[in-house]
Amino acid sequence: MSARFEFDNTYARELEGFYVPSQAAVVPQPKLLSLNRGLAEELCLDPDVLGSDRGVAVFAGNESPAGASPLAQAYAGHQFGGFVPRLGDGRALLLGEVIDRNGKRRDIQLKGSGRTPFSRGGDGKATVGPVLREFLVSEAMHTLGIPTTRALAAVSTGEQVLREGLLPGAVLTRVAASHLRVGTFQFFAARGETDKVKQLADYSIARHYPELGDADNPYLGFLAAVRDAQAALIAGWMHVGFVHGVMNTDNMTISGETIDYGPCAFIDTYEPEAVFSSIDRGGRYAYGQQPLIARWNLGRLAETLLPLIDADEARAIQLAGDAVNDFVDHYLAYWLDGMRAKLGLAVSEDEDLELANGFLAALEGQNADYTLAFRRLSDAARGDDAPLRALLSDASAYDLWADRWRKRLSHESASGEARAQAMDRVNPIYIPRNHKVEEALTVAAGSQLLDPFETLLEVLENPFDEKEGLEAYSSPAPASFGRYRTFCGT
């Protein structure tokens, strides 16, 4: 374990012209809100050193750690469908890269560390609520088994930040496989800088998909690899009922990790139209839209790669178009694999897609909690339908479906108990429920009390093991919580 970051900064070294060097703002009174000790160890860092005053000064941006090359990355992006040629890190700084104990390269980034040349009219700051929300939800996604950026530390700054009122300032230290986005490619493609797009693609391949290095057409292979990573990612979101809320192309990673937990939320009842973000008025990023949007975003990446895929433009369009269209099949395959496990099926049969859709159809409009419905399905696998039926306002569609499901289960040899246990390993009992997240953030931002945040974080560390006494964390929001609205928490 090391007392300092052992930086090895390939982005800064190899991609000059793709960023602007920058410095974090100095803040008056840094205070540690949360430190992810497990992740620190994974990064070969000594958590006690990170939690000391020196460590906190680094997380606040007040001290630049030795070997860092702080920079703001350039990127563009389609935001709600409209292209913005220049976005970039307006409130984030990449400190550098470290190699973790598994040999994987990870970015260390400060988010909320002050203005950069990409800040436009913004102040470059972040506030306690959104910082802790990203901390909680990204860590929850990780324990749920979904690829995601991670949270290493959150500090408050002692500063007041002007939003809808004055709010306490904070900085998040984020860890990612990289911060390369679809929008990074768009930035250079939109300027007609094909050589730069090629340089970026070569860098991305070497960093994330090195097996493509000597493929016949590495750039087409790259597009397909990103497609598969994103298809798997979105399937994971759909399985747990996650709504990202702002799937702009600048928020879609090349690595296939979930990034930017702004207005995200989890669905309560199963509703494809579910939208939580106050700015998503048209429902572009609704729960059920996410696979389609991911394919659309992939199309935007494909456009940037056309000149690299083939010198003959028509042929490039054909090849890239086929790769993008294949997203649907790949997504469906990942989705169905996961749904089989959620429904207790171990082998695959032709009727499974219909069976999976049938369960969702039986939930729709029945006011049943999505997460609990899957969890109660393991009781049904043990032979007791009552807990699941009790969740549904009208169980008749479920009863019909359950007959088909039991027939299908009879094709497999697992005992009810073994099947139920396998289901409980993929259907979480604890997710970051919107009302619990909100409660934790409100208390933290208001009275600076971190107890609800810490308890929730701890509960979410083991999302699949039901524990006595934690009913408040598995129960749906009380009716008084009302319809959840999130704000693009900047």
Pick the catalytic residue from 89, 107, 250, 424: 250
How far apart, in whole angstroms, are the C-alpha atoms of residue 344 and residue 324?
31
How many CA atoms lie within 13 Å of 427's alpha carbon, on the beta-carbon side? 25
Question: Of ligand AMP, Mg ion, none, which one does residue 285 interact with (CB within 5 to 8 Å by kind)?
Answer: none
Q: Does residue 424 belong to the site contacting Mg ion (CB under 5 A)? A: no
**Least CB distance to ligand AMP at residue 13 (A):** 23
Question: Of ligand AMP, Mg ion, none, which one does residue 282 interact with (CB within 5 to 8 Å by kind)?
Answer: none
Q: What count of other Cβ atoms lies within 10 Å of the Cβ of residue 137? A: 22
Query: Which CB, 130 or 338, lies closer to Mg ion?
Result: 130
User: Phi/psi of residue 462, each to 5°?
Assistant: -130, 75
Query: Which CB, 175 or 306, lies closer to ligand AMP?
Result: 175
Query: Which CB, 204 or 258, lies closer to Mg ion?
Result: 258
User: What is the binding site for ligand AMP (CB under 6 A)?
Assistant: 87-91, 118-119, 122-125, 250-251, 260, 262, 488, 490
By CB under 5 A, what part of segment 226-255 binds Mg ion?
Answer: 251
Q: Of 358, 387, 363, which is closest to residue 375 (Cα–Cα)?
A: 387
Tell me the two tokens of residue 221.
């292979």
Q: What count of other Cβ atoms lies within 10 Å of the Cβ of residue 358? A: 19
Q: Of 256, 240, 159, 147, which is closest to residue 430 (Cα–Cα)?
A: 240
Question: Of Mg ion, ligand AMP, none, which one does residue 87 interact with (CB within 5 to 8 Å by kind)?
Answer: ligand AMP
Query: Which CB, 255 or 378, lies closer to Mg ion?
Result: 255
Query: Which CB, 149 or 251, lies closer to Mg ion?
Result: 251
**Least CB distance to ligand AMP at residue 257 (A):** 14
3-state DSSP of 225-243: HHHHHHHHHHHHHHHHCEE
Question: Of ligand AMP, Mg ion, none, which one does residue 119 interact with (CB within 5 to 8 Å by kind)?
Answer: ligand AMP
Residue 71 forms beta bridges with which residues?
21, 94
Tell me the two tokens of residue 193.
């800088």
How far apart, in whole angstroms, are the C-alpha atoms of residue 103 and residue 213?
19
How far apart, in whole angstroms, are the C-alpha atoms of residue 289 and residue 174?
27
**Least CB distance to Mg ion at residue 408 (A):** 42
**Least CB distance to ligand AMP at residue 94 (A):** 12
Each residue 256-275 as x (binds Mg ion by CB under 5 A) or -, in order, gives: ----x---------------
**Least CB distance to ligand AMP at residue 328 (A):** 26
**Least CB distance to Mg ion at residue 133 (A):** 14
Contact 220, 238 (CB under 8 A): no
Query: Which CB, 210 or 281, lies closer to ligand AMP?
Result: 281
Tell me the two tokens of residue 65.
């750690």
Q: Of 248, 263, 297, 252, which is closest to residue 147 (Cα–Cα)?
A: 252
How far apart, in whole angstroms, are the C-alpha atoms of residue 366 and residue 390?
11
For 335-381, the DSSP string reads: HHHHHHHHTT--S--TTHHHHHHHHHHHHTTTT-BHHHHHHHHHHHH
How far apart, in whole angstroms, are the C-alpha atoms of residue 40 and residue 38?
5
The H-or-E segment that residue 60 falls in is: helix 53-60
**Least CB distance to Mg ion at residue 37 (A):** 27
Q: Is 385 a catalytic residue?
A: no
Question: Of ligand AMP, Mg ion, none, which one does residue 122 interact with (CB within 5 to 8 Å by kind)?
Answer: ligand AMP
**Residue found under tokens 């980034």:** 109
**Least CB distance to ligand AMP at residue 253 (A):** 12
Q: Of 257, 64, 103, which is closest to residue 174 (Cα–Cα)?
A: 257
Query: Which CB, 228 or 260, lies closer to ligand AMP?
Result: 260
The CA–CA distances, whole Å, from 381 to 342, 390, 415 equal: 11, 16, 9
**Least CB distance to Mg ion at residue 297 (A):** 13
Query: Which CB, 262 or 291, lies closer to ligand AMP?
Result: 262
State the residue number with the nearest CB to Mg ion: 260
Query: Which CB, 81 or 383, lies closer to ligand AMP?
Result: 81
Q: What share of the chain is helix, strand, coil (3-state, %, to 5)?
A: 45, 15, 40
State the residue number with the nearest CB to ligand AMP: 122
* Catalytic center residues: 250
The residues of the shown chain that bind Mg ion, judged by CB under 5 A, are: 251, 260
